[in-house]
Structure 1
Amino acid sequence: MRVLVWNGPWDLTIGSREDPEPGPGDVLITVAATGICGSDVHGFTGENGRRKPGQVMGHETVGHVAAVGAGVEGLRPGDVVTVNPLIACGRCAACAAGAEQSCQDRRVIGVNAEIVSAFAETLLAPASNVMVLPETMPLEYGALVEPLSVGYHAARRGGCSAADAVLVVGGGPIGQACVLAARRSGATHVVVSEPNPHRRALAGSLGAVAVDPGSDGAVTDALGGRATLVLDAVGSTASIEAAAASSGFGARIVLVGMNAPRIDLPAYAVSTEERTLIGSFCYSAQDFRETAEWVGRAPGVLEHLVDGRVDMAGAAEAFTALAAGTSGKSKVLVFPHGLPAEVDGR
């Protein structure tokens, strides 16, 4: 089968691997499309240090069941599916508590170098991580389940409710996921702070008020005061400072963005105003399952999220443009078997 191989920083080529065969408890999936995640881009440039040469990345995926291994029930060839890429041990205290993202023995499809992941024509995954989606749903939506689960988990970590004035810092794919998660959680007053005009427009189409943080007072004016909940989808010193400056006494600030491994914290703003800083990483199996069910209902707002599509031959160029900041795209999908006819005009 054909795969995309990361050879080192800024070097992505088409390669080949042996066709996988499902063992007991496994599901073989014919990949339809896989989204390029921000972590994939950081892996592509080599800046996060979490990828190894020769690795096949990719974890935001949708496809069809090709075959199942012995003992697999409830899945059959042809089913439309997505995959929860977080493979937990299922035995530890974290797993027993429904916090699979904290499992110390977890493996992540797309991150672990030994797993041939979703930028490939086929993907092998544990049956317990495979979620069936409705055939009536637009197929591309399945590749959105994973990033949307990240935003949903962040909103749940922050205790988001209809009573909150929510600020989302950053309007990229995770920021967009946070907007939709806040709306799913009942929040009606959601503001996004984003300097990129394309992403501001996209955030506005999702039901948020989108503002340019470079405009003095724009955030607090849009909020009509200060936020009670901030979802920081950037994760930098500047973004955490903005979160503190735009939130009120006792506000909760959820750090879900991972722009930098270390940031400077405005400690006085946290302590003297009794703000709560909350970490958020990935999602639990329940978060992923609930998000897959929501996406399966095909809410119309999802049609705005995918704004780029390439085949394998165009993947390297798409990665390069996203990493260099020359692309205006927000979510690009890679179609390993070629672009759908309605996209490429055939």
Structure 2
Amino acid sequence: MRALVLTDYHRLDVVERERPEPGPGEVLLRLCATGICGSDVHGFTGENGRRVPGQVMGHESSGTVAALGEGVDEAAFPLGAPATFNPVVVPAAEAEAYRGREQHAPGKAVIGVVPAIQASFADYVVVPAGNVLLLDPDLPLHLGALIEPLAVAVHAVGRGTPSADDRVLVIGGGPIGQSVVLALHRAGVRRIVLSERDPARRELVASLGVEVLDPSAGDLAERVAELLGGPADLAIDAVGLTPTLADAFAATALGSRIVLVGMGSPRLEVSAFAISTEERTLIGSFTYSAKDFADAAAWIGAHADQVELLVSRIVGPEEAHASFAALAAGEGPAGKILVRFDQPEPFDQPDQPDQEGEPA
């Protein structure tokens, strides 16, 4: 089978490897598509220290059930059925204690992050049966690769506990910010504005039906209040830099909530007074629970037309290195790039000029 191997930092090669075989309790998936995550790009460059040369990365994927290991019920996982997988694997000994908050399990392993696990930038991947979710057969199979980033967003929105009447500011229009907009729609939020510098990303997000603004084009707090009818009650920072967090504080009301889901910098400066004397709550968000993941999968199954807008480019494995290099240089498209393993033809979404943003 083909696998994309990180042979060195800044170098991905298509390598022939033996097809893996599922062991007891495991499922072999024949992969259709895998999305390039911001964390994969940082792994490609060596910036985040969470990927190593020799590794096969990838955790945003969809495919079909290709084989079952011993003890896996074929009625539950029919051969050929469309499927995705939750990459957060919790040891059996911790499963009950961390049910509903699987991302907190100390012994968890994340497929695509742990170097010893061959992940899903490949023709096939083996995953535990408990992490496999069957997909709506009417969903275009490649769109199942967008479930994982939407799960990140569903979790982040849930952490912010918005009401339908809340005024919400999203900071950052990359793939996670775009997914946050969809997750807010899913939660019934009506008043949303997104702040993004890149015009191509603003255009993409506007196509999702929300107000967009350029934070460099004037006083952000004033423009957010003008568009939302007042300062934001909730801000979700999908960038994670000191200036974007400062924007979140500036554009939110006293007593508001700010969710930090972006990981643009390992260290941030925060105004203590903006938290304490103005009684704001700063909330961290990372990955998702198993329920968040399942909820994201169910929502995408019924909203393929909206999700399709997030895909800017589809490439074959042989083009993956060039796509990673472009993203690392800040030259990727406005939306998601998918590496497709079941068809060689390249795809470009029309009228979306180039430019690209992370969890996992």
Cα deviation code 1:66-122 (max 9, x no counterpart): 011111120011000011001012433884341000110000011000010000010
Cα deviation code 1:120-167 (max 9, x no counterpart): 010100000000001111112100000000000000011022021000
1:71 equivalent in structure 2: 71
Q: 1:134 aligns with which of 123, 133, 136?
A: 136
Distance in 1 between residues matched to 2:304 and 2:191, nearest whole Å: 20
> Residue 334 of structure 1 aligns to which amino acid in structure 2?
V
After superposing the two structures, state which structure 1 stretch, 1-10 or 52-61, moved more.
1-10
2:78 alignment partner, SS class: coil
User: Do the aligned partners of 1:64 and 1:79 also contact (CA within 8 Å) in 2?
Assistant: yes
1:286 equivalent in structure 2: 291
User: Do the aligned partners of 1:27 and 1:69 also contact (CA within 8 Å) in 2?
Assistant: yes
Residues 288 and 244 of structure 1: CA distance in aligned 2, closer, same or farther (over 3 Å): same
Cα deviation code 1:157-195 (max 9, x no counterpart): 110220210000000010011111111111100100000
Distance in 2 between residues matched to 1:149 and 1:231, nearest whole Å: 15
1:234 equivalent in alignment to 2:273: no
2:188 equivalent in structure 1: 186
> Residue 229 of structure 1 aligns to which amino acid in structure 2?
L
Residues 109 and 214 of structure 1: CA distance in aligned 2, closer, same or farther (over 3 Å): same
- The alignment covers a number of residue pairs equal to 344
1:6 alignment partner, SS class: strand
Q: How does 1:205-220 map to 2 (within 5 A)?
A: 205-217=207-219, 218-220=223-225
1:269 equivalent in structure 2: 274
User: Do the aligned partners of 2:98 and 2:105 also contact (CA within 8 Å) in 1?
Assistant: no
2:119 equivalent in structure 1: 117
1:143 equivalent in alignment to 2:145: yes
Distance in 2 between residues matched to 1:343 and 1:190, nearest whole Å: 28
1:64 alignment partner, SS class: strand
1:12 equivalent in structure 2: 12
After superposing the two structures, state which structure 1 stretch, 276-285 or 83-92, moved more.
83-92
1:83 equivalent in structure 2: 85
Percent identical among aligned pairs is 49
Q: How does 1:1-346 map to 2 (within 5 A)?
A: 1-73=1-73, 74-92=76-94, 95-217=97-219, 218-339=223-344
> Residue 190 of structure 2 aligns to which amino acid in structure 1?
T
> Residue 98 of structure 1 aligns to which amino acid in structure 2?
G
How far has the Cα of 1:336 moved from its partner? 2.3
User: Do the aligned partners of 1:94 and 1:100 also contact (CA within 8 Å) in 2?
Assistant: no
Distance in 2 between residues matched to 1:226 and 1:271, nearest whole Å: 18
2:93 alignment partner, SS class: coil
2:356 equivalent in structure 1: none
> Residue 308 of structure 1 aligns to which amino acid in structure 2?
R
Residues 340 and 11 of structure 1: CA distance in aligned 2, closer, same or farther (over 3 Å): closer
User: Do the aligned partners of 2:42 and 2:328 also contact (CA within 8 Å) in 1?
Assistant: yes
TM-score by length of 1: 0.96
Question: Unaligned regions of 5+ residues in structure 1, if any?
Answer: none
How far has the Cα of 1:8 moved from its partner? 2.3
User: Do the aligned partners of 1:166 and 1:190 also contact (CA within 8 Å) in 2?
Assistant: yes
CA RMSD of aligned residues (A): 1.6
2:126 alignment partner, SS class: strand
User: Do the aligned partners of 2:314 and 2:347 also contact (CA within 8 Å) in 1?
Assistant: no
Question: Unaligned regions of 5+ residues in structure 2, if any?
Answer: 350-360
